[in-house]
Structure formats: structure tokens, C-alpha cells
Amino acid sequence: MGMYVNPGNEGFRRMLADEYVDKTGLIALVNAVIGTPRGLVCSTRPRRFGKTFAAESLVAYYTCGADSRELFEGLEICHDPSFERHLNAYNVVHLDMTSFRGAGDVAAEVGARLIEDMRRELPNAPLRTDAIELALADFVAATGRRFVFVIDEWDAPLRERRSKESQEDWVYFLRLLFKNATFTPDAITACYMTGILPIVRYGTQSALSDFDEYTVLAPDDYAPYVGLTEEEAEALAERHGMDMAELQRWYDGYELPYVDKGSNERKVVRAYAPYSVMRACKRRRVGPYWVSSEAFASLRTYIDLDFDGLQQSVVQALGGASVRVDTHSFENSIHDVASRDDALTLLCHLGYLCYDAATSTARVPNEEVRAELRQAVAQSRHAEVARIVRESDALLEATWDMDEGTVAEALARAHDDGCAPAFYNNEQALRAVVKSAYIAVADRYATIEELPSGRGLADVVYLPRRGDPAPALLVELKWDRSPEAAIAQTRDRDYPAVLRGWGGPILLVGITYDRKSKRHVCRIEEA
């Protein structure tokens, strides 16, 4: 049993000893392509979304370095017809690329460690050690078993600020192993790679085109195995006596599309961040459990550069809006972000935004992400971003204090900053401006647009989170009319009716402006 070659199953055994959510159905997906031209799989997702859990289960299942039958008894995979055929049947190489962070030349270090491990495993076998592919081929010949590679965090060397040459060497190393027509089919029967970023592209071409990729933007069959499903989160909430609505508010929001093979219907998995849900259940309290990563620290540099209005898009997303994004130009490199769309696409892969392919838009998925993203924006070195966050905090305080003049002035500035002249008098643009200006509410309020109530639709309703003493805000938007008329419509059509069961204070906020003078006026009354 080696460290990298034919490891045991202790990693998966430790996971089972804790509170394990059964995701072994993933193994059946890999079994279905093993030994075929589609046996190379790269499944990428944000950090803290179960990549290592998936890798450890695959290692324990495929490795010939241990007998893992007892570990899988009662789990989903043991009921699959392919279970017996592939159980502990292969040589396995397991690489966790985060463990090679200190290596100067990652490719050379990985090759050297694999050769050293194989020599320990077969001390008397004639292994050629001058090239990694030759050593692997000799190992297969000596054992009679082909390799399954499991590479966790494949992109870790590319997310670090290594030399361009070192990064390219790592990609070339992978091409050597998995895109070698004379070596790969005879020596490697499958490879499963995890990571945050999809495989790097050079222009429009993938650097490892033989891999089938399943990303958080297009997870397809792997969607149920990205994070926790809603059913799994509900089971944990019930087991630990947690409020499911609170778990949903803090950790839900990732909608992953796929096609159900049984019905051939398009469906969506509502995915929860598993690390955070598990921590919240064990500690019996919700809260932000993400820790800022080196990837996000790099991304903040690009936010400060403000590609094509990136900062305004991030602020709008923090306010609850969906922002349009073209994901096709991104070359899957954290260090080669060249546009607003690249930066927003990177945010999607990192899990800070959730992408909707049907509308080509992205939004902030949940409270946990919003808290971290808002902190990062607030700490931006760009004075304009810091000003927007500061002014939003002041705007919310002024609204609570019913300081109508300050609210009107703040919204006028936001309207001027956030709208091109051609769209200034567009009602939808005004609503987006109001939501952006009120980004501070995201920490304490749920935002509901066009809420059916009484005899009409309330424009924007900000409803405090459970247990928060802040007043509910019912906002009505008008132009070329008085703010009193906006408030009167709110009362005449009985918009506060929907909030009567809530029980807390309610503020009616009428916001109007004159299209010719662009003068904004605000009126605030208690309901």
C-alpha cells in the first residue's frame, strides 16, 4: 500500500466514521464510462462542495491496495449492477494537488513521487524510471491491472502564482498521461479529476480535449453530486433539530440543471453548500463558515480594476438583482481575467454567484455568500466601491430614521451613477437602482419584488429576517407625481395587507422623481 500508488481506504473510512451523506451513486457514473473513450472525467465545483469526499470514495472503491467491501455495504453503489465488477479491481493513483504547493516544478515532483512509490510497491520489478509513462506501463505489465487516476484539486497549481512555465509544464504532464494514443489506452482505464476551475483553454480549445467536463455551470448527470440536495439538507436539519428555512436562507441558492435519464425531463437540483450545512448542524447555529481563499484574494484585484463596470454589476448583485454575463470567453484561468464577463464567470465557478443558463444571468445565491462578498467589496481598494457600500449603510439608517431628505438625495446620486441617460426614465432601471442603493438590507432583509397584496402589486418589499426587530419596508416608485400620491396608492390598494400577519413595524416609502428636472422626493410614513 503506497502513499500515491495503490493507497488504502483510510480516508473514506474516516469520513464514514463521521456524519456521512451517501453520495456513492457518483461511482456508478464513473463505472459506466470506465474502459471507454469517455473514461476521462473532470468534475469541477466551488470549494467546500464535497470534492475531497468524492475523491476518497472513488479511491476506496477502485484501489487494489485494500478490501473495501464492508465500507460500501448499505450505501447506494452496492445496489448498482456494476458494483462487483469494479470493486478493488485496479491500480489507483491518488493525487491531492494541494499537497504539492511547496514544489518548485510540480510536474517533475509528481512524476518523481509516483516512480518512487511504484518502486516501493514492486521492488523487484524492472521499472524504467527515466519517464513517468514508461514506469506506469511497466507497472501495468507487472501487475496485470490498468490504472484508475483520481486527481483532487487538479487546478491547484494553476490557481497559485507560479511561473507561467511551471503551469504549462503541469498541463503538458497531464496531456502526456491522458492524451497519448500509444500509452493511455493500454495503461489507464479511467481518470476522475476534481477542481474549482474547468480545464484551461488556449483560445477556444481545451488543453485536455479528451476529458468530458462537468462544471458548476453545466453539471448535467453530476448535478445531484454537487453539494447537498434539498432532500439531504432537510434530513440533516430534522436530525439535528435545525430550522430548515434558516438553512435554506443561508446555504441554498445554487440551481443546477440536468436531464433525468428515467423521464428524459429537464430538472433542476437545488444544491446546498455541504461544508457549511454540516458545520451549522454540528454547532446548532447558522452563520458564515466559508474562509476567504487565495482565489478570491486574486479576484479582488480584478474587482478593483473595474473591467467594463464590473463593480456596478457586483453591487447590483449584492442588492438582489440578476446581472447578465457571457461565460464563453473565459479561458478558465484565474490569472488571465481580461473583462467584466471573465470576472463574473470566475465568481460563478468560485461559488460567489449562481449562473442561470436559461437567462444568461448570475445572482448572489444565499446569505452566507452575500456576507463574504459584501465584506470583500467593502474592503476594496477602489474608493468608488467603498463609497457605494458606505452610502448604502447610511441610506438604510436614514430610512429607519424617516429622514426623507437624506433618502431622496442618496437615491438621486444612485440614479445618476447607475443609469445611462437613454435609460434614466425606465421604471425597471429605477427599480434596479433602488435595489443597488439598498444593498445594505441584504444582511438583514429578504427582498421581494412586485409582491401581490391587497388590490395590486407592491413594487419592492424588504422583509426583516426572522427575529430581527428592524421595520419592514414597503417601497412604491413613481415619476411625475408627488410622493404623497405614491403613499396614497399604497394605502388605497391596501398593499400592507400581506404583512399584517408579520406583527412588526412597517414603513411605507414613497419615492418619486420628475423626469424633466430629475429631482427626487421621498415620503416615509408608518403603516
Q: What is the pLDDT of residues 20-45, one digit of tens each?
A: 999 999 999 999 999 998 999 999 99
Residue 318: predicted pLDDT: 79
Q: Which CATH class is domain 10-214?
A: alpha beta
Average pLDDT over residues 215-223: 93
Q: What is the pTM of this model?
A: 0.79
In the chain, where the domains are located: 10-214, 230-283, 294-378, 383-526
Residue 327: predicted pLDDT: 93
Residue 104: predicted pLDDT: 74
Region of poorest pLDDT, from 2-11, 261-270, 407-416, 425-434:
425-434
Long-range contacts of 463-466 (CB under 8 A, 24+ apart): 463/499, 463/502, 464/504, 465/249, 466/245, 466/246
Q: Would the pLDDT of 134 be above 80?
A: yes
The cell numbers describing 426, all together, are 425606465
Residue 12: predicted pLDDT: 96
C-alpha span between 234 and 243 (Å, rounded): 9
Q: 112-123: per-residue pLDDT in tens?
A: 999 999 999 999
Q: Would the pLDDT of 477 be above 90?
A: no
Q: Would the pLDDT of 329 be above 90?
A: no
Q: SS3 for 59-89, per residue?
A: HHHHECCCCCHHHHCCCHHHHCCCHHHHCCC
Mean pLDDT of the chain: 85
Contact yes or no for 363/401 (Cβ under 8 A): no
Q: Could you tell me the fold of the domain covering 383-526?
A: Trna Endonuclease; Chain: A, domain 1 (3.40.1350)
- In DSSP notation, 411-456 reads HHHHHHHH--GGGTT-HHHHHHHHHHHTGGGGGTEEEEEEEEETTE
Q: Would the pLDDT of 326 be above 90?
A: yes
C-alpha span between 16 and 72 (Å, rounded): 10
Q: Which residue has the higher pLDDT, 449 or 105?
A: 105
Average pLDDT over residues 434-454: 72
Q: Quick one: which of 209, 133, 135 has its CA closest to 171?
A: 209
- Going by pLDDT thresholds of 50, 70 and 90, the confidence category of residue 88 is very high
Average pLDDT over residues 321-338: 86
The three-state secondary structure class of 511 is strand
Region of poorest pLDDT, from 83-97, 290-304, 383-397, 475-489:
290-304
Residue 179: predicted pLDDT: 86
Q: 163-185: per-residue pLDDT in tens?
A: 778 888 899 999 999 988 778 88
